[in-house]
Structure 1
Amino acid sequence: MKKIFMRLAMVFMCMAVFIAGMAQLPVSSAAQQQKATAAMATDMGAPVVDQAKLLSKEQAEKLTAKIKEIEERHQVKIGIYTLQNLPNGMTAGKLANNTLDKYYANGRNGSIVFLIAMGSRDWYISTDNTMRQRIVDGVGIDGLKGMFLEDLSDGNYAESFNNFAAGVDKYLTYYEEEGEPYDPSKEFSILAAVVAVLLALFIGWAFREYLISCMSNVAPAVEASAYLKQGSFTLTQSHDNFLYTTVVRETKSKNNDSSSSSSDSSHGGGGGKF
């Protein structure tokens, strides 16, 4: 009888240890989640927050140093934020605006956030109203897009992010020197275009004259009758017959741009797919 009681006691003891261990699992899991969330919150606000793991450690460090130098020189705040998937019900533009407001809103001369969502292949640039005066919606954001989008689509993430940072530096430098936002169209010179057109016409005319001079058996005809062999054609009568007219109408397709905007009274910017 004593042995039976001993065995029952051992069974109850093992069950108690097992239940206690199972009870600790959610606590441990919750603790790990809280730790990960705290680490993520600590990273937010840094020049580079690469949650999607697109950059190596060395690439992230070099990009961070470059952005900090640009921030110091222009007294702005710049953030590059990558993540795998957007939260449910959240657009890239809205998340970029929220991220800027919460973590990057202390730039004296403006703040800008470049967000990448790998799962949906979204990119978005969010600016506050101060930065919006320096990098304007439309031509400003489109100019930046032209600097980084091709590398971003090709998977050259380090090159793409460095080009973005260089573009922001270029736009801010222009604003500080000229007192107005940079507009790529202003680089177009009408005088240079006129000179190029005149030069092309002259080269074309000179080449045409050279070819004509090489054609020894060809001479211009003074009258159209010179091209007709005498006696080979006789016109006896002529009249016109109208047969029918066919009209084809096609609906003009709308131009669907892949870019989008979440601009409001306190944010500028724009984005799209890559």
Structure 2
Amino acid sequence: MVHRNYRRSRSGRDAAAVPADVGEGGGNPMLRGKQFFIFLGTLLLLSIFILPAIAADAGTPDKVVDGAGLLTEAEEDALRSRIAEVVSRYQCDLVIVTAASTHGKTPRAFADDYFDENGYGIGASRSGVLLLVSMEERDWYISTGGTAIRAFTEYGLDYMEERIPPLLTSGDYMEAFETFVSLCEDFLRETEENRPYDIDNKIREPKTLSDYLFYLVISVAAGAVIAFFATSSMKRKLRTAVPQPAAHAYIREDGVQITKSKDLYLFSSVSRTPRPKNTGGGGSRTHTSAGGRAHGGRGGKF
């Protein structure tokens, strides 16, 4: 036999008596079970979508670290977006770090250690390139690691040195960083499709309007010189009096006779040409960081 406890309604009427376990959320065990499984399923779905995103964000260090405050937030975001494209395409990390100070380290040591200690680099060889700009002594340094050491040869680093520091000197920091990313993309593309830029595979500069104007001026000048000599030759052929190439034509045969001759040197001059230095056969130089990893790189003042 099933016994139920009844309670009166708020109006106090006996006719409104209802079971005490109905309407208080605990009366139907099946309903409680369904609500529990719905709640559990919702948590499971949230974990599927949210946890990987959190893990990915935690495992990916920032590609633009503006410790010196040289960029706006919009500029930082634009650089991150551009870097993400290059990294995704060539599987080589690109990092830009600005710092107020290197805290007593050399720029090379600071850049290498920052790369090693903050989880940068892609793949087993941890391939990547880091550009450091330190405002304390106005230093810059490019550190390469993994496969990037081969892609960024001494010739390539020379090329970057000619283009990035002048922009830093003039305070065009955003343009300098954009140039760095664009050059990295070009170097990585050439390495993948052909071979690294080097002394035997030099960078081909794109032709500009001024280049074409220069070629036009040279062509016109060359044509004018050729035309001048051609007309001069024709004029000489029209003359009846032709100058004699030697002086004896103007001297009587029975005139002055030279019986003795002697060469007398009045002065002498010596020219010296420096012997060209052997600059080697290209390629990349490497060194070992404090963490024991091989790095290439180049740096200086701006």
Query: TM-score normalised by the shorter chain: which range applies?
Result: 0.5 to 0.7
Q: Conserved in 1, the CA contact under 8 Å of 2:127 and 2:148?
A: yes
Is it true that 1:83 corresponds to 2:103 in the alignment? no
Is it true that 1:271 corresponds to 2:286 in the alignment? no
User: How much does 1:211 deviate?
Assistant: 5.7
Give a deviation string over 1:99-155, Cα, whole Å, max 9, x none: 1111243312611110111222211110113211222x3012223333423322222
Question: Among 122, 126, 141, which residue is 1:107 paired with?
Answer: 122
> Counterparts of 2:233 and 2:271 in 1: how far apart (Å)?
47
User: How much does 1:48 deviate?
Assistant: 1.0
> Counterparts of 2:100 and 2:238 in 1: how far apart (Å)?
71
Greater gyration radius: 2
Instruction: Kindly provide the amino acid, as one letter, of the partner of residue 269 in structure 1.
Output: G
In structure 2, what is the equivalent of residue 170 of structure 1? 186
Aligned residues: 215
> Counterparts of 2:247 and 2:229 in 1: how far apart (Å)?
23
> Counterparts of 1:153 and 1:95 in 2: how far apart (Å)?
21
> Counterparts of 1:124 and 1:53 in 2: how far apart (Å)?
18
> Counterparts of 1:248 and 1:105 in 2: how far apart (Å)?
55
Relative to structure 1, the CA distance from residue 174 to residue 241 in structure 2 (aligned partners, 3 Å threshold; closer, same or farther) is closer
In structure 1, what is the equivalent of residue 160 of structure 2? 144
User: How much does 1:243 deviate?
Assistant: 6.8
SS in 1 for 2:166: helix
Relative to structure 1, the CA distance from residue 106 to residue 225 in structure 2 (aligned partners, 3 Å threshold; closer, same or farther) is closer
Structure-to-structure mapping, 1:8-27, within 5 angstroms: none
Structure 1: where are the runs of 5+ without partners?
Answer: 1-41, 190-195, 255-260
Higher helix share goes to which structure? 1
Structure 2: where are the runs of 5+ without partners?
Answer: 1-57, 205-214, 278-284
Give a deviation string over 1:180-224, Cα, whole Å, max 9, x none: 3233753589xxxxxx9xx97974762442562696799796643
> Counterparts of 1:184 and 1:246 in 2: how far apart (Å)?
37
User: How much does 1:62 deviate?
Assistant: 0.8
Question: Among 81, 95, 98, which residue is 2:113 paired with?
Answer: 98
Tell me the TM-score normalised to structure 1 length: 0.61
> Counterparts of 2:249 and 2:136 in 1: how far apart (Å)?
72
In structure 2, what is the equivalent of residue 16 of structure 1? none
Question: Among 68, 73, 85, which residue is 1:52 paired with?
Answer: 68
User: How much does 1:64 deviate?
Assistant: 1.5
> Counterparts of 1:52 and 1:228 in 2: how far apart (Å)?
85
User: How much does 1:87 deviate?
Assistant: 1.5
Q: Conserved in 1, the CA contact under 8 Å of 2:165 and 2:301?
A: no
Relative to structure 1, the CA distance from residue 157 to residue 215 in structure 2 (aligned partners, 3 Å threshold; closer, same or farther) is farther
Percent sequence identity over matched residues? 26
Q: Conserved in 1, the CA contact under 8 Å of 2:197 and 2:203?
A: no
Relative to structure 1, the CA distance from residue 222 to residue 130 in structure 2 (aligned partners, 3 Å threshold; closer, same or farther) is same
Tell me the TM-score normalised to structure 2 length: 0.56
User: How much does 1:79 deviate?
Assistant: 0.9
> Counterparts of 2:160 and 2:203 in 1: how far apart (Å)?
18
In structure 1, what is the equivalent of residue 232 of structure 2? 212
> Counterparts of 1:170 and 1:206 in 2: how far apart (Å)?
42
Is it true that 1:73 corresponds to 2:89 in the alignment? yes
Relative to structure 1, the CA distance from residue 160 to residue 224 in structure 2 (aligned partners, 3 Å threshold; closer, same or farther) is same
